[in-house]
């Protein structure tokens, strides 16, 4: 083996790792956070958790990424530690899919069908299709993502073939054979496998390297088996690193991953070599191949899961013993708002977390204005304090989301995620302003309460009608925002115009009362503040809805949205406006009754 073979080996390894990274990133973008959402919600049953962990890992081609997600879920408090165990076990099974794909390089035969199954035959076709999709598609489209996945897979397979070709000359190298023989020592083989995997932080990649070395014929199963066991331990390094600085339970989740592989490996090695000492396994002396490596990798992880799944609670307890509660309890801050920056490396998942936080903020703003309107109509000090708390919390949401999304904006996002980011960035300031106006309304209610002022029954009806309309527009806006429902968002603007009309009517009625001396100037100032706040709340709801329509519907731009109405659309809009106006009646004769 000369210097050129070494260079080929390094180049092949580089392409292999790069292809795996590109393919994994493309698959994550295609998932668009959906798999992670399922992972988060459907983990209450252990069997489902294992299947989900295996499925998600098989799709994104990385058990390390799945376990890092789990650590983040536990750290955020949205997943219990007991639920995380099943996903971690499933992730170890899912990661074996890569080794089966790589085993295709070992296919031998002269028939046409067998030749077509070899990566050297179909990889160029995938690369050709991938580059056409990648180059011909517009930026950040699904076709471009698919093209990236195909290119990543082709590069990965090409790297695998290059590595195999580079090391093929080692078949007759006595030094290499002696080195491989030394790894027959189970402890040494496990150490090498663990160290290699810890360095490149991917068990799939390290297994692939081992499969490439199999073409030399010098890697026997007696050598491959302990190395594979070590690789399962080495892959735990990524989750342990991700848990540094996280909550106590997040660190425990990382330890569960480590203990699962340590205990599984220990049990396997003890049982296997004990039996081997009495009845020698003949296959250990045979040369390993890529398919055999995949079989061992799969059987170990499936077997370890079957054996240890019934003892999930014991794994949790073991992690709790390793990382005890200590004398000081972790502070529980109910109003804390944070998004784990570890997920910036997984843009699709990070965007899903941002969407979740944005929905929380939207619901918070809706609840804030609803509570403020209750305080306005019937003063309650405890509710007033809650609105003040909501306003401070909304400020935190805006700051955290804005800062996080700015950091995420430099990442490679799918079209859907890019659109979602734009909507969130434009909307969070509106939701924050809604909570500000809610607090202003509460201040007006406090002033009325302290000065013992009041509205008459007739005047209250005007305000009650307006409050109902404001509550409805907030509910409609938040519903359409949380569900990404553009059709629902289209109904916000007619209601916003109704609120403008109601506000104008109330002001006109107030002026008439003022002229007749049936309303005080002081009460008029308070009413003006309330009307201004409620009208601005509806304006912010309109901003959110129009932003959704213009971002998700390419037929509109923000400034041209209303100008582009056809005669039919204008007629439909006017009809809806008139129908809504009837729901919130404010009659001019009500103005004759004093405020």
pLDDT for 198-224, tens place per residue? 887 777 778 888 888 887 787 888 888
- Taking residues 301-307, what's their average pLDDT? 93
Verify that 302 and 345 share a domain, yes or no.
no
Q: What's the pLDDT tens digit per position in 355-365?
A: 888 998 999 99
Is 332 within a domain?
no
Verify that 21 and 120 share a domain, yes or no.
yes
Verify that 303 and 449 share a domain, yes or no.
no
Is 245 within a domain?
yes
Q: Which domain holds residue 382?
A: 341-592
- Report the number of distinct structural domains present in the chain: 2
Given 288, 322, 356, the domain boundary residue is 322
The percentage of the chain sitting over the pLDDT mark of 90, rounded to a whole number, equals: 28
Verify that 504 and 440 share a domain, yes or no.
yes
Higher-pLDDT residue of 539, 565: 539
Given 276, 293, 322, the domain boundary residue is 322
Q: What's the pLDDT tens digit per position in 428-450?
A: 999 999 999 999 999 999 998 89
- Taking residues 560-584, what's their average pLDDT? 77
Q: How far is CA 244 from CA 9, 240, 559, in A?
A: 34, 7, 47
**What pLDDT score does 558 carry?**
44
Is 329 within a domain?
no
Higher-pLDDT residue of 227, 554: 227
**What pLDDT score does 445 carry?**
92
pLDDT band at residue 344, thresholds of 50, 70 and 90?
confident
Q: What's the pLDDT tens digit per position in 310-322?
A: 998 899 999 999 9
pLDDT value at 297 more than 60: yes
Is 335 within a domain?
no
Is 361 within a domain?
yes
Given 322, 356, 375, the domain boundary residue is 322
Verify that 349 and 448 share a domain, yes or no.
yes
- In this structure, of 2-11, 484-493, 551-560, the range with the lowest mean pLDDT score is 551-560
Given a contact cutoff of 8 angstroms between Cβ atoms, the answer to whether 393 and 434 are in contact is no
Is 327 within a domain?
no
Verify that 318 and 345 share a domain, yes or no.
no
The percentage of the chain sitting over the pLDDT mark of 70, rounded to a whole number, equals: 83
Q: What's the pLDDT tens digit per position in 158-202?
A: 887 787 777 766 656 667 666 766 777 888 889 888 888 888 777
- Cα 343 to chain centroid distance, Å, stands at 8
Q: What's the pLDDT tens digit per position in 90-132?
A: 888 988 887 887 777 665 655 656 566 666 677 888 889 989 9
Coil, strand or helix at 522: helix
Q: How far apart are CA 335 and CA 321, in angstroms?
A: 29
CATH code for position 413: 1.20.58.220
Q: Could you tell me the two tokens for 90?
A: 């499933």
pLDDT value at 141 more than 70: no
pLDDT band at residue 3, thresholds of 50, 70 and 90?
confident
pLDDT band at residue 587, thresholds of 50, 70 and 90?
low
Higher-pLDDT residue of 322, 557: 322
Q: What's the pLDDT tens digit per position in 531-548?
A: 999 999 999 999 999 999
> What is the chain's mean pLDDT, rounded?
81
Verify that 504 and 586 share a domain, yes or no.
yes
Verify that 370 and 425 share a domain, yes or no.
yes
**What pLDDT score does 456 carry?**
67
550 burial via Cβ count (<10 Å: 0-12, 13-18, 19+): buried
**What pLDDT score does 103 carry?**
76
Verify that 291 and 417 share a domain, yes or no.
no
**What pLDDT score does 36 carry?**
55
- Taking residues 237-257, what's their average pLDDT? 82
Q: How far apart are CA 346 and CA 142, in angstroms?
A: 17
Verify that 281 and 347 share a domain, yes or no.
no
**What pLDDT score does 2 carry?**
65
* Residue 220: strand pairing partners: 287
Q: How far is CA 369 from CA 468, 469, 530, in A?
A: 11, 12, 12
Verify that 98 and 142 share a domain, yes or no.
yes
**What pLDDT score does 394 carry?**
93
Is 336 within a domain?
no
Is 163 within a domain?
yes
Instruction: Write the DSSP string, 212-259.
Output: HHGGGS--BHHHHHHHHHHHHHHTHHHHHHHTTTS-HHHHHHHHHHHH
Verify that 290 and 401 share a domain, yes or no.
no
Q: How far is CA 531 from CA 3, 407, 435, 457, in A?
A: 81, 38, 15, 18
């Amino acid at each position: 083996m000369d210097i050129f073979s070494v260079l080929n080996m390094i180049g092949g390894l580089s392409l292999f790792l790069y292809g795996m990274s590109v393919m994994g990133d493309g698959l994550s973008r295609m998932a668009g956070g959906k798999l992670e959402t399922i992972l988060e919600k459907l983990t209450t049953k252990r069997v489902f958790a294992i299947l989900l962990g295996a499925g998600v890992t098989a799709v994104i081609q990385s058990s390390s990424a799945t376990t890092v997600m789990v650590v983040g879920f536990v750290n955020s408090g949205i997943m219990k530690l007991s639920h995380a165990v099943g996903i971690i076990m499933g992730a170890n099974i899912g990661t074996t899919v890569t080794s089966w794909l790589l085993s295709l390089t070992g296919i031998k035969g002269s028939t046409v069908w067998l030749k077509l199954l070899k990566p050297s035959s179909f990889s160029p076709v995938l690369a050709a299709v991938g580059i056409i999709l990648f180059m011909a598609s517009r930026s950040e489209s699904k076709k471009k993502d698919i093209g990236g996945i195909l290119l990543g897979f082709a590069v990965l397979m090409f790297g695998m073939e290059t590595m195999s070709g580079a090391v093929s000359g080692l078949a007759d190298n006595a030094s290499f054979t002696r080195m491989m023989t030394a790894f027959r020592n189970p402890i040494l083989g496990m150490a090498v496998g663990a160290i290699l995997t810890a360095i490149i932080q991917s068990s799939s990649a390290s297994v692939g390297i081992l499969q490439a070395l199999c073409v030399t014929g010098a890697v026997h199963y007696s050598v491959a088996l302990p190395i594979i066991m070590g690789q399962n331990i080495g892959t735990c390094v990524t989750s342990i690193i991700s848990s540094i600085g996280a909550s106590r339970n997040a660190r425990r989740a990382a330890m569960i991953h480590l203990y699962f592989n340590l205990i599984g490996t220990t049990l396997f090695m003890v049982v296997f070599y004990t039996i081997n000492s009495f009845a020698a396994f003949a296959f250990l002396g045979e040369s390993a191949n890529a398919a055999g490596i995949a079989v061992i990798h799969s059987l170990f992880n499936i077997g370890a899961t079957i054996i240890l799944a019934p003892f999930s609670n014991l794994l949790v307890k073991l992690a709790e013993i390793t990382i005890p509660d200590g004398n000081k309890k972790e502070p529980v801050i109910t109003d804390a708002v944070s998004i784990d920056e570890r997920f910036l490396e997984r843009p699709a998942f990070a965007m899903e977390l941002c969407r979740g936080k944005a929905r929380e903020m939207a619901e918070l703003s809706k609840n804030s204005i609803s509570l403020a309107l209750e305080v306005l109509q019937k003063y309650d000090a405890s509710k007033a304090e809650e609105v003040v708390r909501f306003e401070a919390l909304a400020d935190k949401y805006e700051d955290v989301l804005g800062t996080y999304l700015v950091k995420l904006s430099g990442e490679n996002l799918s079209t859907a995620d890019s659109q979602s980011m734009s909507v969130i960035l434009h909307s969070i300031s509106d939701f924050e302003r809604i909570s500000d106006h809610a607090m202003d309304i509460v201040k007006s209610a406090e002033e009325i309460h302290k000065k013992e002022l009041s509205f008459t029954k007739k005047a209250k009806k005007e305000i009650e009608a307006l409050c109902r309309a404001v509550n409805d527009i907030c509910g409609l806006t938040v519903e359409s925002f949380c569900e990404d429902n553009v059709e629902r968002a289209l109904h916000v603007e007619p209601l916003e115009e109704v609120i403008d009309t109601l506000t104008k009517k109330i002001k006109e009625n107030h002026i008439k009362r003022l002229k007749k001396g049936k309303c005080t100037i002081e009460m008029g100032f308070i009413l003006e503040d309330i009307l201004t706040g409620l009208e601005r709340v509806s304006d912010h709801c309109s901003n959110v809805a129009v932003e959704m329509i213009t971002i998700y519907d390419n037929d509109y731009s923000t400034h041209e949205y209303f100008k582009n109405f056809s005669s039919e659309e204008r007629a439909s809009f006017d009809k809806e406006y008139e129908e809504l106006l009837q729901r919130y009646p404010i009659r001019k004769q009500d103005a004759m009754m004093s405020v």
